[in-house]
């Protein structure tokens, strides 16, 4: 017996449930707002999720959030319309009431806007954070919240001043009850099965239904936040073909402890996944903050980042160093595969046609181990790594290395471990002799490329210097 489905996109927006059909599933929320609704407060800047001018907020059911609705800032320039199904959408037009909202008033009073083009995006990032926060951010927290928003004329000092000063005004919190009631009604509807011409978007509600759809249509593209494949449409003008979304499968969003380690569902957002990883491995704090931006981390998923297999993805070196494995499923058959056996070549993985990534399993830290991860890029925030390195070493009581996992992104066609450098460390104390051997071995493990981010020589030297930093910190017992 087939499961009932629904053919129209439905979401809560400006006080009512909106129903859409007859629109390409590859149309972005940004284009719909500006072209179809005439709501031009949301701006298009870069069109690739870097500048933040297009920022909107999405609301979803979450029993741990105020009034049961979680608000998160996302980039509307990469968000496909069907991804709104079952959600609440908020834009800059929804922020002010009879008077400006405190975040808007602070931006005005502290002269934090000049041309104003970027201001709506700053407002939405600050507004979404304001709604879920119980007290004012400090300047470092404000900078992190706004790391996905670029300003080309005002300068960040008054903007950061305004982010903190917004809390000096009388509080204005969103009443989420109307949205919560609408979202509960939408959750009771059948799953979305959307078609426009030859373009389709399937959004199953269960893992079984997802696995069945993927197995029956192995040529369909699996999408989550579309923070990467969205660029194929906005920049490459590609037709993505049939799409199967994982966004409505709650089973894939679960993150839970497992035998001292972590089970992280492939559909968990990058934000939630890194929060869990940082709790287990505090050494990841800086890299997690520098991984993309809050709007990208809120939309993208850990499973999507891993399955994408980008050679410069920052999560993969971390997971490789931690000894993670993948849970894969094709139809009713589930298997587990070590992550270091998943990447076969550039944009080529061991995932079989019709097979989906269910979860990433991270084992517990080994007693006597040391873990570090560092990202090297031209900018601190919102930048692609030139080199990302993650390292896990296990020592015996005498200080001899018994296990070594050295993983890098940016040095090869895939994120990969450095087996020859690892071999130079295992069985030896991590002294200057072992370090020199491991530095030299990296030249045999990798042959980096030169591109717009860095030269091959720069990447090689940086990778070697990260090993030197690792040895300096581990030998001195320095904190991460």
Record: fold of 254-476: Enolase-like; domain 1 (3.30.390)
pLDDT at 345 over 60: yes
Instruction: Give the per-residue pLDDT at 312.
Output: 82
Strand pairing category for 191-196 and 55-61: unpaired
Q: What is the mean pLDDT of the chain?
A: 95
- The arithmetic mean of pLDDT across residues 145-172, rounded, is 95
List pLDDT tens digits, range 65-81: 999 999 999 999 999 99
- The arithmetic mean of pLDDT across residues 23-51, rounded, is 96
Instruction: Give the per-residue pLDDT at 313.
Output: 84
Class for the domain spanning 10-191: alpha beta
Closest CA to 224 of 249, 261, 241: 249
* C-alpha to C-alpha distance for 30 and 39, rounded to whole angstroms: 9
| Helix, strand, coil % in the chain, rounded to nearest 5 | 35, 25, 40
Q: How confident is the model at residue 477 (pLDDT cuts 50, 70, 90)?
A: low
* C-alpha to C-alpha distance for 53 and 151, rounded to whole angstroms: 9
13 close to 29: Cβ distance less than 8 angstroms: no
* C-alpha to C-alpha distance for 480 and 337, rounded to whole angstroms: 30
- The arithmetic mean of pLDDT across residues 115-133, rounded, is 96
Phi, psi of 129 (to 5 degrees): -70, -40
Kindly state the tokens that stand for 397: 């009581």
pTM: 0.94
Which ranges of 176-206 would DSSP assign to H, the alpha helix?
Answer: 177-187
* C-alpha to C-alpha distance for 412 and 360, rounded to whole angstroms: 23
Instruction: Give the per-residue pLDDT at 2.
Output: 64
Give the residue extent of every domain in the chain. Answer: 10-191, 254-476
Kindly state the tokens that stand for 387: 């080199």
Instruction: Give the per-residue pLDDT at 154.
Output: 86
Give the number of C-alpha atoms closer than 13 A to the C-alpha of residue 52, restricted to the C-beta side. 27
- The arithmetic mean of pLDDT across residues 101-130, rounded, is 97
- The arithmetic mean of pLDDT across residues 285-308, rounded, is 95
Which ranges of 155-282 would DSSP assign to H, the alpha helix?
Answer: 156-165, 177-187, 207-216, 229-234, 270-280
Q: How confident is the model at residue 4 (pLDDT cuts 50, 70, 90)?
A: confident
């Amino acid at each position: 017996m087939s499961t009932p489905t629904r053919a129209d996109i439905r979401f809560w927006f400006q006080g009512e449930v909106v129903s859409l059909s007859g629109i390409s599933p590859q149309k972005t929320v940004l284009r719909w707002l500006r072209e179809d609704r005439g709501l031009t407060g949301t701006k298009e800047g870069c069109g690739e999720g870097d500048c933040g001018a297009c920022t909107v907020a999405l609301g979803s059911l979450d029993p741990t959030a105020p009034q049961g609705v979680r608000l998160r800032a996302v980039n509307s320039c990469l968000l496909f319309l069907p991804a709104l199904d079952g959600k609440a959408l908020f834009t800059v037009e929804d922020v002010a009431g009879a008077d400006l909202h405190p975040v808007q008033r602070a931006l005005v009073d502290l002269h934090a806007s000049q041309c104003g083009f970027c201001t709506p995006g700053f407002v939405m990032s600050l507004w979404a954070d304001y709604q879920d926060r119980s007290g004012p951010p400090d300047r470092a927290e404000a900078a992190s919240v706004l790391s996905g928003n670029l300003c080309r004329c005002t300068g960040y000092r008054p903007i950061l001043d305004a982010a903190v000063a917004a809390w000096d005004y009388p509080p204005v919190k969103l009443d989420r009850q109307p949205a919560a009631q609408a979202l509960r009604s939408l959750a009771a509807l059948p799953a979305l099965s959307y078609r426009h011409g030859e373009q389709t978007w399937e959004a199953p509600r269960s893992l079984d239904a997802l696995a069945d759809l993927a197995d029956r249509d192995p040529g369909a593209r699996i999408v989550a936040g579309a923070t990467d494949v969205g660029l194929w449409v906005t920049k490459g003008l590609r037709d993505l073909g049939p799409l199967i979304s994982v966004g409505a499968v709650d089973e894939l969003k679960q993150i839970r402890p497992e035998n001292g380690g972590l089970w992280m569902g492939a559909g968990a957002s990058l934000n939630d996944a890194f929060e869990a990883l940082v709790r287990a491995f505090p050494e990841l704090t800086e890299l997690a903050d520098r991984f993309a931006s809050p709007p990208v981390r809120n939309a993208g998923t850990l499973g999507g980042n891993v399955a994408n297999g980008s050679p410069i993805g920052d999560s993969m070196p971390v997971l490789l160093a931690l000894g993670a494995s993948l849970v894969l499923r094709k139809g009713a058959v589930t298997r587990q595969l070590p992550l270091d056996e998943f990447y076969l070549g550039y944009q080529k993985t061991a995932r079989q046609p019709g097979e989906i990534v269910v979860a990433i399993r991270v084992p517990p830290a080994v007693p006597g181990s040391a873990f570090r991860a560092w990202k090297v890029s031209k900018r601190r925030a919102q930048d692609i790594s030139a080199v990302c390195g993650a390292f896990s070493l296990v020592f015996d009581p005498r200080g001899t290395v018994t296990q070594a996992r050295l993983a890098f992104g940016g040095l090869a066609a895939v994120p990969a471990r450095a087996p020859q450098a690892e071999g130079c460390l295992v069985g030896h104390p991590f002294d200057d002799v072992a370090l020199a051997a491991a530095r030299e071995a990296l030249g045999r493990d990798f042959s980096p490329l030169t591109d717009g981010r860095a030269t091959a020589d720069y990447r090689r030297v940086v990778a070697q210097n990260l090993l030197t930093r690792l040895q300096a910190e581990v030998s001195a017992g320095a904190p991460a």
